[in-house]
């Protein structure tokens, strides 16, 4: 779907991109990564002709981009940048509708597409359609940027550090949303980032660059397990097994937990322990399933079933989302000093639990595969 053949871009005597040959197949997410100034952003700008190569050829969907007018090419390619570039005088709906209007879509079709995309990026159309960019948080604005890039349903998506200006928590959420959207839409994506963890989490293949040249182009698993040379080895770091945990979501390793509603406490706990005396930890939830605390059943017995045995918690801060990575779960465990966390859905309801042993099991399986 995207192919660069011996592409070079020079600025004076310096080559920002040097004899770059790279092929990205349809439906694949290829992440360009490397040190600052390695040519990542230059490469992405060459694809949509914001820059012109000095040597080499670039093809999108089998067609030489040099044979298309730049404005026509860009209407067929979605583009998301770090600082979004929303038009401040336009509403959210008007921003998303820019390219469909240029393509002369009917008004009803545009309105339906706007609402569809807002739902897709996790924003309520009724609440956000008429807002202006200055009324949005950084994470919300970035979601609108993604929605705008997808508005005309382009087969190719270029993303130049799209989440780089967002705070870490919203960045993790946006990454999870992007992965979910990509599984559904299967766009061909060329994605630039300086964050190795982000690359490992979202990429089908990683293209590591240095001084304008391609050093290694591999799946995240292979680039972590088999660095091509010392530069790649040092770039990915010695904690490669931990980085690999970014490829796994909590939902893949979580298990069923034990929950009791505050309205059923303590009778429900007594019933559970009579049936299964080995149960150690129970999550206390409200009538909506939202986390309110946790219970060590040994304390329950010691305190005679009183409410003093329950440790109150702020669920959103203590729990981990099911679409988070195992690396995020491990970091949360270390920060909280616990070996077990409740798993929450996107609405904050408890849907299971994950323990340190669950993560260790995945780590052992990964290490065994690398040895093989």
Q: Which residue in this structure is represented by tokens 């690999």? A: 244
Contact predicate 224/244, CB 8 Å: yes
Of 127, 66, 68, nearest in space to 93 by CA: 127
Say which range, 30-39, 138-147, 311-320, has the weakest mean pLDDT: 311-320
Q: How far is CA 25 from CA 1, 28, 185, 240, in A?
A: 5, 6, 15, 26
Cα 211 to Cα 17, 39, 47, 76, 321, distances in angstroms: 8, 7, 19, 30, 38
Question: In the chain, which segments carry CATH 3.10.580.10?
Answer: 251-364
CATH of 251-364, one of 1.10.390.10, 1.10.443.10, 3.10.580.10, 3.30.2420.10: 3.10.580.10
- CA pair distance 309, 155, nearest whole angstrom: 56
Range of lowest pLDDT (240-244, 260-264, 343-347): 240-244
pLDDT tens-place string over residues 269-307: 999 998 888 999 999 999 999 999 999 999 988 888 888
CB–CB of 334/245 below 8 Å? no
Which regions of the chain carry the CATH code 3.40.50.300? Answer: 2-239
Q: Is the pLDDT of residue 84 over 70?
A: no
Rounded to whole angstroms, the Cα distance separating 225 from 279 reads 39
In what helix (H) or strand (E) does residue 140 lie, and over which residues does it extend? helix 138-150
Question: What pLDDT does 238 receive?
Answer: 67
- At residue 293's C-alpha, the angle toward residues 290 and 297, to 5°, is 125
d(CA 314, CA 206): 38
Average of per-residue pLDDT across 327-344: 89
Q: Assign a CATH topology to domain 2-239.
A: Rossmann fold (3.40.50)
Least confident of 61-65, 75-79, 130-134: 75-79
């Amino acid at each position: 779907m995207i192919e660069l053949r011996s592409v070079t871009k020079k600025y004076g005597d310096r080559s920002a991109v040097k004899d770059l040959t790279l092929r990205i197949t349809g439906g694949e997410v290829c992440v360009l990564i490397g040190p600052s100034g390695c040519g990542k952003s230059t490469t992405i700008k060459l694809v949509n002709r914001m820059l012109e190569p000095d040597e080499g050829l670039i093809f999108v969907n089998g067609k030489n981009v040099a044979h298309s007018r730049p404005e026509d090419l860009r209407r067929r390619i979605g583009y998301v940048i770090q600082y979004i570039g929303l038009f401040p005088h336009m509403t959210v709906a008007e921003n998303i509708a820019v390219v469909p209007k240029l393509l002369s879509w009917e008004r009803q079709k545009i309105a339906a597409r706007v609402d569809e995309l807002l739902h897709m990026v996790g924003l309520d159309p009724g609440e956000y359609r008429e807002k202006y960019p200055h009324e949005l948080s950084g994470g919300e604005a970035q979601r609108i940027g993604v929605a705008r890039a997808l508005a005309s349903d382009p087969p190719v998506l270029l993303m130049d550090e799209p989440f780089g200006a967002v705070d870490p928590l919203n960045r993790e959420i946006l990454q999870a949303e992007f992965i979910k959207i990509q599984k559904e839409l299967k766009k061909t994506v060329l994605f630039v980032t300086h964050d190795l963890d982000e690359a490992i989490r979202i990429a089908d293949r990683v293209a590591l660059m240095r001084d304008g040249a391609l050093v290694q182009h591999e799946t995240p698993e292979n680039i972590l397990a088999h660095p091509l040379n010392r530069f790649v080895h040092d770039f990915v770091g010695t904690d490669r097994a931990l980085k690999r945990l970014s490829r796994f979501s909590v939902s893949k390793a979580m298990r069923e937990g034990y929950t009791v509603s505050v309205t059923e406490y303590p009778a429900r706990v007594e019933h559970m322990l009579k049936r299964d005396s080995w149960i150690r930890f129970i999550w206390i939830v409200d009538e909506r399933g939202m986390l309110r605390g946790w219970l060590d059943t040994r304390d329950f017995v010691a305190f005679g079933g009183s409410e003093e045995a329950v440790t109150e918690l702020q669920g959103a801060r203590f729990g981990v989302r099911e679409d988070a990575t195992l690396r995020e779960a491990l970091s949360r465990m270390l920060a909280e000093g616990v070996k077990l966390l409740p798993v929450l859905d996107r609405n904050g309801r408890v849907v299971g639990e994950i323990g340190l042993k669950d993560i260790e099991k995945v780590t052992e399986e990964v290490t065994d595969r690398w040895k093989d």
